[in-house]
Amino acid sequence: MTGRPGFFCLIFIRLVMSLMLFPVTIFVIPRPAQAAPAILENVSIPGSAISDLQGNVVGVTIPLKRAGRLLLLEGTIDNVSGNFILDTGSSGLVLNTTYFRNAIAVEDEEGGGVTGSTASMARIHVKHMVVSELNFTNISADATPLGHLENRRGVKILGLFGMSLLKNLELVIDIRNNELQIFKLDKNGNRIGPSSSVVKYDIIQPILEYRNIMFVKASIGGKVLDFCLDTGAESNVLSIDANKKVLGTVTITRRSNLNGVGETRGEVLYGTLNEFSIGDSRRLIPMETIVCSLTAMSRKYGYPIDGMLGYDFFAKGKIYINLVKNELGICLMSEEKK
């Protein structure tokens, strides 16, 4: 792989904010290089492995830590220990240059955030990484400063744990119980071995995978929109360029200044999304959302998006993402089924 810009044309806006602290911070990160698949046979916490009748490990249960609305996984890279943000809105591994200063800078690469700001970028080779119970060797990653995240949340953050690290697996994200389950799949996308429990999902929806990022369609104001699935976003995001009928469903509650990585500034709107349907016209109760421009983000993704589904969406219930069938399932909490 060369260092030419064509191999890094996707630059992702990471929306990281506190709903109680202002101003909001938005930063950009590069698209990571392809990572090695997870090796689920190597488990490090006794009793958390999910096994079939023959004792073969077919999945693993991993505890999720919280830092505000960020979902964290404990991990170690080359003897450096800390936390990773579980980030389905990132295509792969992104490391914090605070702890990995031997990363090699990438020239002629710049990001495009909501404010048009940029972030420095670098690449690094990781010999060995353990994230909770997943083991990886010889991974190429991207690196960018993430110190502002650590300062805001008061936790040590080694990086962002993205989707290419979990290819051909199934994720079950259960925010209420602070739990992540990962299952092996066969070539048809079915779990290998019997499941320990049977969960009835209220919504099953196809998703589109594009460059290791997951997109799903949903309806607002009678319009079908494309959303990115993003556990790294602490709130949902809706494009300010959306149809007037779509924006009319949002009750604006406040405004805030927006700071980019550079010196540019802008404004975002905070509000309540009162109408949101997904799957078989299933309507979810109101969710908090941010309204801002996503033009630059769509350009860097290489895919036009109307919004991002973050913490408020994933908190609606137990959610699975099958990365072979490209399928999303939601088991709604009881209060969501009314």
Query: Are 137 and 247 part of one and the same domain?
Result: no
Q: What is the pLDDT of residues 114-131, one digit of tens each?
A: 444 445 678 888 888 998
Query: Are 173 and 72 part of one and the same domain?
Result: yes
Q: What is the pLDDT of residue 258?
A: 61
- Block residue for tokens 């979810």: 284
Q: Is the pLDDT of residue 101 over 80?
A: yes
Query: Are 166 and 19 part of one and the same domain?
Result: yes
Total count of domains within the chain:
2
Q: What is the pLDDT of residues 140-161, one digit of tens each?
A: 898 888 888 888 888 999 999 9
Q: Which residues form the domain of 268?
A: 203-337
User: 149 or 45: whose pLDDT is higher?
Assistant: 149
pLDDT band at 17 (very low <50, low <70, confident <90, very high): very low
Report helix, strand and coil shares of the chain as percent, to nearest 5. 10, 45, 45
Query: Are 180 and 228 part of one and the same domain?
Result: no
pLDDT band at 54 (very low <50, low <70, confident <90, very high): low
- Return d(Cα 277, Cα 228) in angstroms, integer: 15
Lowest mean pLDDT among 8-17, 80-89, 266-275: 8-17
Per-position DSSP letters for 96-111, written without gaps between them:
ETTT-TTPEE-TT---
Residue 113's CATH number: 2.40.70.10
Q: What is the pLDDT of residue 49?
A: 65
Q: What is the pLDDT of residues 291-328, one digit of tens each?
A: 998 988 888 778 899 999 999 999 999 999 999 999 99
Q: Is the pLDDT of residue 260 over 60?
A: no
Q: Are 27 and 110 in contact (CB under 8 A)?
A: no
Q: Is the pLDDT of residue 256 over 70?
A: yes
Query: Are 96 and 229 part of one and the same domain?
Result: no
Alpha carbons within 13 angstroms on the beta-carbon side of residue 116 total 4
Q: Are 290 and 238 in contact (CB under 8 A)?
A: yes
In a domain, 190, yes or no: no
Query: Are 32 and 180 part of one and the same domain?
Result: yes
User: 333 or 270: whose pLDDT is higher?
Assistant: 270
Query: Are 9 and 144 part of one and the same domain?
Result: yes
Query: Are 157 and 39 part of one and the same domain?
Result: yes
- Return d(Cα 57, Cα 34) in angstroms, integer: 25
Query: Are 81 and 45 part of one and the same domain?
Result: yes
In a domain, 196, yes or no: no
Query: Are 177 and 207 part of one and the same domain?
Result: no
Q: What is the pLDDT of residue 14?
A: 44
Q: Is the pLDDT of residue 25 over 90?
A: no
Mean pLDDT of the chain: 79
pLDDT, mean of residues 67-91: 92
pLDDT band at 52 (very low <50, low <70, confident <90, very high): low
The pTM for the full model equals 0.82
pLDDT band at 46 (very low <50, low <70, confident <90, very high): very low
Residue 154, both tokens? 């008061």
Q: What is the pLDDT of residue 29?
A: 44
Q: What is the pLDDT of residue 155?
A: 92
Query: Are 22 and 108 part of one and the same domain?
Result: yes
pLDDT band at 87 (very low <50, low <70, confident <90, very high): very high
Q: Is the pLDDT of residue 223 over 70?
A: yes
Q: Is the pLDDT of residue 270 over 60?
A: yes
For residue 46, count other CB atoms closer than 10 A to its CB. 6
In a domain, 192, yes or no: no
Q: What is the pLDDT of residues 190-201, one digit of tens each?
A: 988 765 556 789
pLDDT, mean of residues 17-38: 42
- Return d(Cα 49, Cα 125) in angstroms, integer: 29
In a domain, 189, yes or no: no
Query: Are 318 and 268 part of one and the same domain?
Result: yes
